């Protein structure tokens, strides 16, 4: 079925109607076919809609590099000087001609012998900010709407797309049964992490509410920081669920690892009662995803693309170490699992025995700083992925289940069944835990975290008889906006667990781009939300 009809009649836009002789091909299709044996396009008329990446005008011929966003590699066209007269960098053209093999020794295998070229959108090369020369990441970040048009950033967009597609395949064909992809709400009542760094929302121009019922939703609402709580509701019915959804943090941190809006891949599994199953799920998922990407053209493009530095990617990416990174992910030995307590001991030993020095001396109570994480993954584990498990209960959110084993007889050293996955360069890329699925224990945790409100009791100091007490609560306690979450534990609550992965960070790791500000097309962070 021909779905994009050519215009047979006069074109309203004043330029010539599309040729009906040849349908439009994509550069990727033509160039790929030209590399792999007999090429079905050879000596045929082909037609491209694309952009002039560069043009060289000589006396007898002109040469233009054409791209159409389908591959980083340009397609070379040879033109008569008259045909090239109006061509300039950036111009949008419809170009057609014969696809001819080049004599051996030329850089390209084929070139387009142009029969016809029409400029549909001119470009003034004097003012066009995207030039072929090196442009710094800082400069390009100021023009994200045009940054997309540099070859490597264009490739990054296609790579992200392929990641999303392959992620769908990973979960759809999971050996333990398909995971259900869900779309949890972004407007929520609670701050999952308890960190308080959320955005509130209100209708534009609305007066600041002075009473609860003046809020648009009859109560204050926030942009989600994690979909975990809702995923637990889905998993309680569907078993295995996942989502890839934007999350928001109103953090003022100015680092290449943080954004105010970013995509989080989250999954939740019901009937899961040990942490090894959870880290196994994460490892399997990331290995499977990487392997699938490796077998796609765009995956290979990322591994071999020329990098001119315009996305601040690590220099190391040039040197074949990116390929090693992928190989480690796909085919390397099982990733290490070490407990937090063990990690801290190793860090302390590194200080006392190997002269390692940290800004923050490692202590069990102090948690892991970025410098500690980097040392763990890069020095102690030779740059291979590592799961750090069982962190102190005191530094983690209320919903985490206790560890299966305790390493210390010191009861003040309570730990929870959780993990952080550390990768070189990006450090923490994923975190997850088993969830406290027992109602009394969950409520006790909430109480300890100050999440249970006290409420006005009626005159008699007793609840009205028609309002039965919530289990495990005293009459003056109120679960407030988290009652629905506690509800999930009341009727058929099974052990379960899940994780969240910073999707943009992981894309940066796979593509060798060190700042999430260069991985996300339109990055939002403190003080910046251009376009």
Stretch 135-164 residues interacting with a second copy (CB under 8 A): 143, 145-146, 148-149, 154, 157-158, 160-161, 164
Of 274 and 365, which has the nearer Cβ to a second copy?
274
321 touches a second copy (CB under 8 A): no
473 touches a second copy (CB under 8 A): no
Query: Within 393-412, which residues bind a second copy (CB under 8 A)?
Result: 402-405
**Could you give the CA distance from residue 31 to residue 93 in angstroms, rounded to a whole number?**
18
Task: Evaluate whether 192 touches 339 at the Cβ level (below 8 Å).
Answer: no
Of 354 and 411, which has the nearer Cβ to a second copy?
411
In DSSP terms, 79 is beta-bridged to 62
CB of residue 195 to a second copy, shortest distance in Å? 10
Q: CA angle at residue 90 from 86 to 95, to 5 degrees?
A: 60
Of 228 and 403, which has the nearer Cβ to a second copy?
403
* Residue 490 three-state SS: coil
CB atoms < 10 A from the CB of 283, how many? 17
172 touches a second copy (CB under 8 A): yes
Give the residue, chosen from 349, 449, 455, 490, that forms a contact with a second copy under the rule CB under 8 A: 490
225 touches a second copy (CB under 8 A): no
CB of residue 279 to a second copy, shortest distance in Å? 10
336 touches a second copy (CB under 8 A): no
b/e map of 418-437 (b: 16 or more CB within 10 Å)?
bbbbbbbbbbbbbbbbbbbb
Query: Within 12-41, which residues bind a second copy (CB under 8 A)?
Result: 12-13, 18, 24, 26, 28-29
Q: How many C-alpha atoms does 228 have within 13 Å on its Cβ side? A: 23
Listing DSSP states for 329-387 in one string gives: HHHSSPPEEEEHHHHHHHHHHHHHHH----SS---STT---HHHHHIIIIIITTT--EE
Of 236 and 343, which has the nearer Cβ to a second copy?
236
Listing DSSP states for 492-506 in one string gives: S---EEEEEEEHHHH
258 touches a second copy (CB under 8 A): no
Binding map of a second copy across residues 70-109, x = CB under 8 A, - = no contact: x-------------------xxx-x---------------
Binding map of a second copy across residues 282-301, x = CB under 8 A, - = no contact: -xx-----------------
CB of residue 35 to a second copy, shortest distance in Å? 18
CB of residue 490 to a second copy, shortest distance in Å? 7
CB of residue 288 to a second copy, shortest distance in Å? 10
Of 163 and 350, which has the nearer Cβ to a second copy?
163
Task: Evaluate whether 452 touches 443 at the Cβ level (below 8 Å).
Answer: yes
CB of residue 311 to a second copy, shortest distance in Å? 15
Give the residue, chosen from 21, 43, 44, 122, that forms a contact with a second copy under the rule CB under 8 A: 122
Give the residue, chosen from 97, 137, 239, 299, that forms a contact with a second copy under the rule CB under 8 A: 239
- Determine the interface stretch with a second copy among 35-43, 221-229, 323-331, 359-367 (rule: CB under 8 A): 221-229
Listing DSSP states for 37-103 in one string gives: SS-TTTTSEEEEEEEEEEEEE-SS-EEEEEE-SS-SSPEEEEE-HHHHTT--TT-EEEEEEEEEEPP
Task: Evaluate whether 297 touches 288 at the Cβ level (below 8 Å).
Answer: no
Query: Within 497-526, which residues bind a second copy (CB under 8 A)?
Result: 520-522, 524, 526
Of 79 and 223, which has the nearer Cβ to a second copy?
223
Of 187 and 319, which has the nearer Cβ to a second copy?
187
Q: CA angle at residue 13 from 11 to 14, to 5 degrees?
A: 75
- Determine the interface stretch with a second copy among 57-65, 167-175, 301-309, 366-374 (rule: CB under 8 A): 167-175
CB atoms < 10 A from the CB of 402, how many? 16
**338 is written with which tokens?**
């070490």
**Could you give the CA distance from residue 361 to residue 250 in angstroms, rounded to a whole number?**
29
**Could you give the CA distance from residue 144 to residue 313 in angstroms, rounded to a whole number?**
17
451 touches a second copy (CB under 8 A): no
CB of residue 66 to a second copy, shortest distance in Å? 12
In DSSP terms, 501 is beta-bridged to 265, 430
Of 103 and 205, which has the nearer Cβ to a second copy?
205
Task: Evaluate whether 29 touches 108 at the Cβ level (below 8 Å).
Answer: no
Give the residue, chosen from 45, 378, 407, 487, that forms a contact with a second copy under the rule CB under 8 A: 487
Give the residue, chosen from 85, 120, 457, 469, that forms a contact with a second copy under the rule CB under 8 A: 120
> Which residue is associated with the tokens 């990768």?
423
CB of residue 486 to a second copy, shortest distance in Å? 10
Query: Within 175-214, which residues bind a second copy (CB under 8 A)?
Result: 175-178, 180-189, 191, 196-205, 208
Of 92 and 98, which has the nearer Cβ to a second copy?
92
114 touches a second copy (CB under 8 A): no
The residue count of the chain comes to 531
**414 is written with which tokens?**
């309570």
390 touches a second copy (CB under 8 A): no
Give the residue, chosen from 127, 210, 354, 460, that forms a contact with a second copy under the rule CB under 8 A: 127
CB atoms < 10 A from the CB of 247, how many? 22
Binding map of a second copy across residues 259-278, x = CB under 8 A, - = no contact: -xx-x-----xxxxxx-xx-
**467 is written with which tokens?**
């309002």
């Amino acid at each position: 079925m021909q779905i994009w009809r050519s215009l047979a009649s006069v074109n309203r836009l004043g330029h010539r109607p599309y040729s009906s002789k040849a349908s439009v091909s994509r550069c990727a299709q033509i160039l790929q076919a030209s590399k792999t044996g007999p090429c079905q396009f050879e000596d045929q008329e082909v037609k491209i809609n694309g952009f002039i990446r560069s043009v060289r005008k000589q006396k007898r011929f002109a040469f233009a590099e054409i791209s159409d966003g389908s591959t980083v590699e340009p397609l070379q066209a040879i033109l008569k000087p008259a045909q090239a007269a109006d061509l300039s960098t950036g111009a949008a053209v419809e170009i057609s001609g014969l696809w001819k093999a080049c004599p051996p020794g030329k850089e390209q295998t084929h070139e387009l012998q142009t029969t016809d070229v029409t400029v549909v959108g001119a470009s003034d090369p004097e003012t066009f900010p995207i030039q072929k020369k090196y442009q710094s990441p800082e400069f390009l970040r100021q023009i994200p709407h045009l940054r997309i048009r540099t070859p490597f950033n264009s490739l990054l967009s296609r790579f992200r797309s392929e990641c999303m597609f392959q992620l769908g395949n990973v979960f759809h064909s999971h050996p333990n049964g398909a995971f259900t992809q869900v779309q949890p709400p972004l407007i929520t009542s609670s701050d999952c992490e308890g960190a308080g760094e959320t955005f509130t929302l209100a209708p534009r121009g609305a007066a600041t509410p002075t009473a609860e019922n003046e809020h648009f939703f009859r109560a204050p609402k926030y942009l989600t920081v994690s979909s975990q709580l809702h995923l637990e509701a889905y998993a309680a019915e569907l078993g295995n669920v996942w989502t890839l959804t934007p999350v928001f943090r109103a953090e003022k941190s100015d680092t290449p690892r943080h954004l105010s809006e970013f995509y989080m891949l989250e999954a939740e599994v019901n009937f899961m009662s040990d942490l090894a199953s959870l880290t196994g799920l994460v490892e399997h998922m990331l290995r499977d995803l990487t392997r699938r990407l490796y077998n796609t053209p765009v995956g290979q493009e990322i591994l071999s693309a020329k990098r001119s530095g315009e996305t601040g990617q690590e220099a190391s990416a040039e040197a074949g170490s990116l390929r090693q990174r992928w190989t480690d992910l796909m085919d390397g030995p099982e990733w290490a699992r070490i407990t937090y307590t063990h990690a801290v001991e190793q860090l302390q030993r590194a200080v006392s025995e190997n002269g390692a020095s940290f800004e923050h001396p490692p202590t069990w109570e102090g948690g892991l700083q970025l410098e500690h994480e980097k040392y763990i993954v890069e020095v102690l584990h030779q740059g291979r992925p590592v799961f750090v498990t069982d962190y102190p209960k005191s530094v983690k959110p209320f919903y985490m289940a206790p560890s299966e084993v305790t390493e210390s007889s010191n009861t003040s050293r309570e730990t929870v069944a959780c993990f952080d996955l550390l990768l070189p360069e990006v450090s923490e890329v994923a975190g997850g835990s088993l969830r406290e699925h027992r109602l009394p224990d969950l409520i006790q945790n909430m109480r300890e975290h100050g999440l249970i409100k006290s409420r006005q009791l009626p005159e008699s100091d007793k609840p009205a008889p028609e309002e039965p007490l919530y289990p495990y609560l005293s009459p003056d306690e109120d679960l407030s906006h988290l009652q629905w979450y506690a509800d999930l534990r009341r009727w058929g609550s099974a052990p379960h667990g899940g994780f969240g992965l910073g999707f943009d960070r992981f894309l940066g790791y796979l593509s060798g781009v060190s700042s999430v500000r260069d991985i996300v097309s339109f990055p939002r962070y403190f003080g910046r939300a251009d376009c």
